[in-house]
């Protein structure tokens, strides 16, 4: 009996298998992406009908997204960012309906500074690319530096309105450089009244509370006791740490003028003394005991902080790199005891090491993101950053995790997923709105500028896309334009919040300590 052909309008539609399920001869739920491809993190590709495409096009198979590339060593160990429940992972999403047709890439030649690079044809699945200038490579290594955004805005303004003082200005931020290096202090202990020493130590701990935890007040007090009771018996390590604490404390203490101390450039002398001590013994790093906190690691983290405080961020980034090498040699980046430790390491030492490591992580992520430099800590585990609830630095570390994921996922050159963007924003809102104990109020003040900076960094590409896109280019992004508009508005509102906060003096009142991050966050918000 001949089969009766059912009219097209009466045919019952059934699920169509994707290419992967068809090849594996397995059941497919017909969704895009199907259950199998969702489980494997792949993008579904369905074989088109012969009436629409040629047979040569029907051999395309389902495969993982090309933007993922090879998995880095860090990706194997590290796939964390806190969320509402304590864990959110900003992975590259391949689900349909997300921002899968837009990506960011860097360009080093002026001819490549294009607003948007469109697909050649309607069937071309290459994402629309926003090319950001890469100024002065290799001084700036990545396009997430503020200079990249400003350079593209200048180009757009010059194209539409002609040249002006703004478009002709050469540099966004000129950091001061040390013209004549200071000589180390010749007198030990420092020729200062004991009350002045105590004031500088107090200034250090007051103003570093909530964003860095390298040494404790008890440890510094013990070192000072040994200094004033037997200077000849003081170890180089103790002297180095004390010099750095005094240098940073003097940087923060605006009420104690160096002229009143009758010593010019005293903080630079303190720093030079510490650096000389470190260089003289750094080659003997192997003699440091494994069941303790490496003092060279403490010293390098403090040196990085000092350079940040005196507005020499590139030097601070360099010290972060040296500190990571020390931490890596001790296995601190793994969050576990090094093999040489055996059973001699105590829980207290492990906690102290982790505090120093977390401080280095905060400095590295902030410096790398604001400078457009590579992330120094390129390999670490989640365990190395975790500490119990209520521990100082928890909020700041969480904010820097979002900065970390923003740099890796949003500015990686891969396709951007709106799911990743919204998950980061959602958690940043939780960090800012979190109710904290009175004992941690200073920590909340610390995290607010970092959260605002993380959000500006996250939303700024969408503001730039909205700013420079023409009508035709917006039509090409018609399905995601409302989301781009919301993120663009959020970038502007958060930038205005930073400016208004500083204008009202909320972060600069005498009741709260000085924040070395705030000036750079203000620069990011202004531009």
Residue 333 counted as domain residue: yes
Residue 318 counted as domain residue: yes
Q: The tokens of 75 are what?
A: 């990706």
Residue 506: strand, helix, or coil: coil
In the block, which residue shows the tokens 């490549």? 112
Residue 108 counted as domain residue: no
At which of 365, 387, 409 does a domain end?
A: 387
- Burial label, 378 (beta-carbon count in 10 A; 0-12, 13-18, 19+): middle
Residue 493 counted as domain residue: no
How far apart (Å, rounded) are the C-alpha atoms in residues 237 and 273? 12
> Would you write out the chain's pLDDT as a tens digit for each of its 527 residues?
566 666 655 655 555 677 777 766 677 877 777 877 777 667 676 654 433 333 333 322 232 233 323 333 333 333 333 332 333 333 333 333 334 456 666 554 444 444 445 444 444 445 566 666 555 544 444 555 666 666 767 776 777 777 777 666 665 555 555 545 666 666 677 778 888 888 999 989 988 888 889 998 998 998 888 877 765 666 788 889 999 999 999 888 866 655 556 667 888 889 998 998 888 776 555 545 555 678 899 999 999 999 998 888 889 999 999 999 988 888 888 876 443 444 344 567 778 888 999 999 999 999 988 887 888 888 877 778 878 777 778 888 888 888 888 888 777 666 677 777 888 888 788 776 655 554 455 666 677 788 888 888 888 888 877 777 766 666 666 667 788 888 888 888 888 888 887 776 554 444 455 677 877 888 777 76
Q: Are 442 and 512 in contact (CB under 8 A)?
A: yes
DSSP characters over 336-393: S--GGGTT---HHHHHHHHHHHHHHHHHHHHHHHHHTPPPS-----GGGT---TT-TT
Exposure class string for 80-96: b at 16+ Cβ within 10 A, else e: bbbbeeeebebbbbbee
Residue 307 counted as domain residue: yes
**How many domains, in total, are found in the chain?**
2
For residue 304, the surrounding DSSP H or E stretch is helix 295-309
Q: Are 90 and 424 in contact (CB under 8 A)?
A: yes
Q: Are residues 185 and 53 part of one domain?
A: no
Q: Are residues 353 and 211 part of one domain?
A: yes
- The 10 Å Cβ neighbour count of residue 167 is 16
At which of 335, 357, 387 does a domain end?
A: 387
How far apart (Å, rounded) are the C-alpha atoms in residues 157 and 167? 7
Phi and psi angles of residue 275, each rounded to the nearest 5 degrees, phi first: -65, -35
Q: CATH number for the domain including 31? A: 4.10.240
In the block, which residue shows the tokens 């009741």? 511
How far apart (Å, rounded) are the C-alpha atoms in residues 353 and 356? 5
Domain that holds residue 34: 13-64
At which of 387, 412, 443 does a domain end?
A: 387
Residue 227 counted as domain residue: yes
Q: Are residues 182 and 53 part of one domain?
A: no
Q: The tokens of 507 are what?
A: 């972060």
């Amino acid at each position: 009996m001949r089969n009766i052909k059912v009219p097209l309008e009466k045919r019952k539609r059934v699920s169509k298998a994707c290419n992967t399920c068809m090849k594996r001869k397995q059941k497919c739920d017909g969704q895009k992406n199907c259950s199998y491809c969702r489980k494997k993190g792949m993008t579904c590709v369905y074989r088109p009908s012969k009436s629409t495409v040629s047979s040569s096009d029907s051999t395309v198979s389902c495969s993982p997204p090309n933007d993922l590339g090879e998995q880095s060593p860090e990706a194997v160990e590290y796939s964390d960012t806190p969320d509402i429940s304590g864990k959110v992972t900003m992975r590259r999403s391949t689900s349909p309906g997300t921002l899968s047709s837009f990506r960011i890439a860097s360009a080093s030649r002026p001819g490549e500074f294009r607003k948007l690079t469109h697909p050649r044809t309607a069937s071309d699945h290459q994402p629309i690319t926003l090319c950001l200038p890469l100024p002065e490579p290799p001084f700036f290594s990545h396009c997430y530096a503020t200079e990249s955004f400003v350079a593209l805005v200048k180009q757009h303004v010059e194209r539409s309105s002609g040249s002006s003082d703004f478009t002709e200005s050469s540099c966004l931020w000129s950091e001061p450089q040390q013209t004549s290096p200071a000589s180390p202090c010749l007198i030990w202990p420092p020729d200062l009244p004991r009350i002045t020493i105590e004031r500088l130590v107090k200034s250090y701990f007051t103003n570093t509370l909530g964003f860095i935890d390298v040494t404790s007040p008890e440890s510094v007090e013990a070192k000072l006791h040994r200094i004033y009771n037997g200077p000849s018996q003081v170890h180089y390590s103790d002297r180095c740490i004390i010099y750095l604490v005094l240098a940073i404390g003097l940087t923060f203490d605006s009420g104690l003028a160096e002229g009143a101390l009758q010593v010019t450039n005293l903080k630079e002398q303190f720093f030079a003394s510490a650096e000389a001590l470190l260089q003289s013994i750094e080659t003997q790093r192997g003699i440091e005991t494994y069941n303790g906190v490496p003092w060279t690691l403490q010293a390098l983290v403090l040196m990085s902080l000092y350079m940040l405080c005196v507005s020499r961020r590139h030097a601070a980034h360099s010290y972060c790199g040296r500190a990571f090498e020390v931490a890596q040699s001790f296995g601190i980046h793994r969050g576990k005891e090094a093999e040489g430790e055996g059973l001699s390491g105590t829980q207290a030492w492990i906690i102290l090491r982790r505090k120093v490591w977390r401080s280095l992580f905060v400095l590295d992520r902030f410096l790398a993101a604001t400078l457009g430099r590579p992330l120094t800590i390129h390999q670490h585990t989640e365990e190395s950053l975790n500490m119990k609830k209520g521990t100082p630095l928890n909020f700041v570390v969480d904010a820097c995790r979002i900065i970390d994921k923003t740099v890796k996922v949003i500015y990686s050159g891969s396709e951007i997923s709106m799911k990743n963007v919204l998950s980061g924003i959602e958690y940043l809102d939780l960090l800012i709105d979190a109710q904290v104990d009175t004992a941690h109020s200073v920590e909340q003040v610390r995290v607010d500028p970092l959260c605002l900076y993380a959000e500006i960094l996250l939303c700024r590409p969408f503001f730039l896309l909205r700013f420079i896109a023409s009508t035709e280019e917006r039509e090409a992004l018609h399905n995601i334009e409302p989301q781009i508009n919301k993120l663009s508005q959020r970038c502007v509102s958060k930038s205005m919040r930073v400016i208004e906060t500083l204008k009202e003096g909320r972060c600069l009142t005498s009741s709260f300590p000085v924040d070395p991050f705030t000036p750079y966050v203000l620069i990011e918000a202004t531009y």
